[in-house]
């Protein structure tokens, strides 16, 4: 029997507002939902408003099996919104409302109780844009849990010192190809190649595991001093919203249950491609569908 994991995801819960419709999202929530789809126990730490969208978000998370006991409801701030624009290739750009309820996640000791017993703690960079949630995040990062940092650079919410601290706290860093070069330039790397910059960043941050996604060209994983590659799948892209989040959730799940890193990155790339082929961030995917996608008849 496969091991069931306990994982805590920290960060934004919001609604992605497309030109024609709305869908619940937020990178940490997308990661949490995909992790839960693999029958893990997943806690979500976030903030929502006491508005109608907050009630909808809470119901959505609960009905999909997430533990919402650490969700905070804010009277003074609304549930988060992000206006999403898609280009002709389905690639998304974002206009993120500020401030909102997830900017004000207060620290409570019970958060540490849950994280200390978890197999992993997943967090991103956007949640650190406001002092309240940033303070809570850094308190939780003092724990000994396996920490997974999902770099999610969104202008103008980028601070060099905070970004470095978040990377240094991590045991695993995931970022995309563009973010790798933004950070490399920001921190004055002398290297040009992806692999060189990954190894440079690993040394700089004392992080043993780094994964860089490359869109339709797959991903590269640096794991325990070895590189693993997947060149991607030929996906018919609908939209890219949530594809990287599902990739990360799948990769972390596979690695933590003990699968070989090459098999883990192959499976994760397939799931990311399948999500990109569907509308929205959290389509349901069965294990059989994923296996057939990797190994078509």
Which pTM does this prediction carry? Answer: 0.93
User: pLDDT per residue over 16-69, tens digit each?
Assistant: 888 888 889 899 999 999 999 999 999 999 999 999 999 999 999 999 999 999
Residue 84 confidence (pLDDT): 79
Quick one: which of 293, 207, 251, 294 has its CA closest to 31? 251
Supply the pLDDT for residue 280. 65
**The pLDDT value given to residue 281:** 67
Q: What is the pLDDT of residues 215-232, one digit of tens each?
A: 889 999 999 999 999 998
Q: Which residues of 215-242 are buried (b: 16+ CB within 10 A; e: fewer)?
A: beebbbbbbeeeebbbebbebebbbbbb
Q: How far apart are CA 33 and CA 7, in angstroms?
A: 11
The average confidence (pLDDT) of the chain is 92
The per-residue DSSP string of 95-163 comes to EE-SS-GGGG----HHHHHHHHTSSEEEEESGGGGSHHHHHHHHHHTTS-SPEEEE----TT---HHHH
Q: What percent of the chain has pLDDT over 70?
A: 96
* Nearest C-alpha neighbor of 255 from the set 264, 247, 246: 264
Taking 70 as the threshold, does the pLDDT of residue 162 lie above it? Answer: yes
β-pair type (120-124, 92-96): unpaired
How many C-beta atoms surround the C-beta of residue 100 within 10 A?
22
Mean pLDDT for 123-136 is: 96
pLDDT tier at 90 (50, 70, 90 boundaries)?
low
Q: Spell out the residues 6+ positions from residue 207 whose beta carbon is closer than 8 angstroms to its own.
A: 167, 168, 170, 171, 172, 173, 201
What ranges do the domains of the chain cover?
6-294
Sign of CA dihedral 101, 105, 111, 114: positive
Predicted pLDDT of residue 72: 98
Residue 164 makes CB contacts below 8 A (sequence gap 6+) with: 187, 205
Pairing type for strands 92-96 and 80-86 reads antiparallel
Residue 156 has pLDDT above 90, yes or no: no
Instruction: Find the helix or strand (DSSP H, E) in which 224 lies.
Output: none
Rg of the chain, C-alpha, whole Å: 18
Q: How far apart are the first and last CA of the chain?
A: 27
What CA–CA distance (Å, rounded) separates 136 from 129? 12
117-126, pLDDT tens digit by residue? 999 999 999 9
Reduce the DSSP state of residue 259 to 3 states and report it.
Answer: coil
Secondary structure class of 240 (helix, strand, coil): coil
**What topology is assigned to 6-294 in CATH?**
3.40.1190
């Amino acid at each position: 029997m496969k091991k069931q994991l306990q994982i805590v995801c920290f960060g934004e819960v919001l609604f992605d507002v497309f030109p024609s419709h709305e869908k619940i999202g937020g990178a940490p929530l997308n990661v949490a939902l995909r992790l839960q789809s693999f029958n893990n126990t997943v806690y979500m730490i976030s903030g929502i408003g006491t508005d109608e969208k907050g009630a909808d978000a809470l119901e959505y998370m609960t009905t999909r099996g997430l533990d919402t006991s650490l969700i905070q409801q804010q009277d003074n701030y609304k549930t988060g919104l992000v206006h999403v624009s898609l280009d002709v290739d389905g690639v998304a750009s974002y206009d993120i409302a500020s401030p909102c309820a997830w900017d004000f996640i207060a620290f409570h000791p019970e958060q540490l109780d849950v994280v200390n017993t978890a197999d992993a703690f997943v967090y991103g960079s956007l949640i650190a844009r406001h002092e309240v949630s940033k303070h809570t995040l850094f308190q939780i990062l003092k724990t000994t849990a396996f920490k997974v940092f999902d770099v999610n650079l969104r202008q103008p919410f980028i601070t060099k010192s905070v970004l470095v601290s978040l990377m240094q706290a991590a045991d695993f860093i995931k970022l995309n190809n563009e973010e790798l070069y933004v950070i490399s330039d920001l921190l004055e790397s002398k290297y040009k190649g992806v692999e060189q910059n990954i190894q440079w960043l690993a040394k700089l941050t004392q992080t043993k595991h780094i994964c860089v996604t490359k869109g339709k060209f797959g991903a590269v994983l640096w794991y325990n001093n070895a590189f693993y590659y997947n060149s991607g799948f030929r996906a018919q892209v609908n939209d890219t919203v949530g594809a990287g989040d599902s990739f990360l959730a799948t990769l972390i799940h596979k690695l933590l249950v003990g699968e070989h890193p090459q098999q883990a990155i192959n499976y994760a790339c397939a799931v990311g491609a399948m999500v990109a082929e569907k509308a929205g961030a959290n389509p349901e995917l069965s294990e059989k569908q994923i296996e057939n996608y990797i190994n078509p008849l």
